[in-house]
Amino acid sequence: MSQVRRVVVDTDTGIDDAHTLLYLAGRPDAEIAGIASVFGNCVEEDAVRNIGYVTRLLGLDVPVARGAAEPLAGAARIARYVHGRDGLGDRGYDRPLPEVTGETGAELLVRLAHERPGELDLLALGPLTNLALALRLDPELFTKYRSVVLMGGSGPYADPGTLLMIDANVNNDPAAAEAVFSAPRNRLVMVGVNVTATTILDERAIAALHAADTPRARFASEILETYLDFYQNEWGRRIIPLHDPLAAGILLDPSLATAAVDGPVNVVGDGFLSRARLMRTADGLPPSFPYKPAPDTHVITAVDAPRFVAGFVEVLTR
């Protein structure tokens, strides 16, 4: 078995976040070392209730902290139309508040890194507000994590005429994202919508989840319905992309990334949406406008989607 990665998860616990926690807990090479909640797919209170529901289902005893309920500036955008009002597809689960540490999500991220410097990986699955607040407490925080892997960003500029899914985690708090991409780090990995949109859980894979008679697979398949209702409008099929799980997969197995580019990332807006972009065109050239210098981020540009999806299904149906 490969070396166990001890992962601190920062999550706006919606449907694919819950799938990610199931996936991490089912991997023999992963250990969840702590979880912080944040707004995004649902309000923060629902996010922490969902953390509690999943950890109880899995029998996990890990420190949980309540994080940011709103972005650094402006009002929170909540994706109820994607994940349901409660974040788990409105299935009516009993979700009491879990026992929490009493510290903020940002304080948990800092404390764990200081207690075990160089031993932990930070996996960010929601808006980056907790990470930005943690950087205010310790500007060198990311140098104390072995790696920081985030599901967010849009990769390099795409070929002309190419459209991308919304970069929701960045768009929900652009100021926080800017702080994260400009911070010193050991290794910051961006797993953006440019690659997560290619990892499709198709009808056959969904049928395998439904057929597996385990609590983990039953829960994973139950919460899919609201997500499928949303994504059928993208492709005319009841299939979904595995956004957050892919980030966890790449953290545990970097060979799933078949192409990547190191370079500066800026947060850019067009008046409607904000995205985190590698400051390179599709041809590998700098953009035709000035941009802010930033430390290199490892930006994933292609993945072995079939291998990842097969592995994800195998873990959840094992």
Catalytic site positions: 12, 243
CB 66 within 8 A of CB 130: no
Bridge partners (DSSP) of residue 262 are 298
Nearest Cα to Cα of residue 159 among 268, 280, 263:
280
**Rounded (5°) CA angle 312-315-317:** 105
DSSP 154: -
Output the 3-class SS for 198-216.
CCEECHHHHHHHHHCCCHH
User: Which helix (H) or strand (E) covers residue 33, if one does?
Assistant: strand 30-37
Instruction: Give 259's strand partners.
Output: 302
- How many H-runs (helices) and E-runs (strands) does the chain carry? 13, 12
Q: How many CB atoms lie within 10 A of CB 41?
A: 32
Q: State how far the Cα of 111 lies from the Cα of 228, in Å rounded to an integer.
A: 38
List of residues 6+ apart from 109 with CB closer than 8 A: 8, 10, 36, 122, 130, 131, 134, 141
C-alpha distance from residue 56 to each of 51, 53, 153, 304 (Å): 9, 5, 31, 32
By residue count, the chain amounts to 318
CA distance linking residue 206 with residue 282, whole number of Å: 33
Three-state DSSP class for 49? Answer: helix
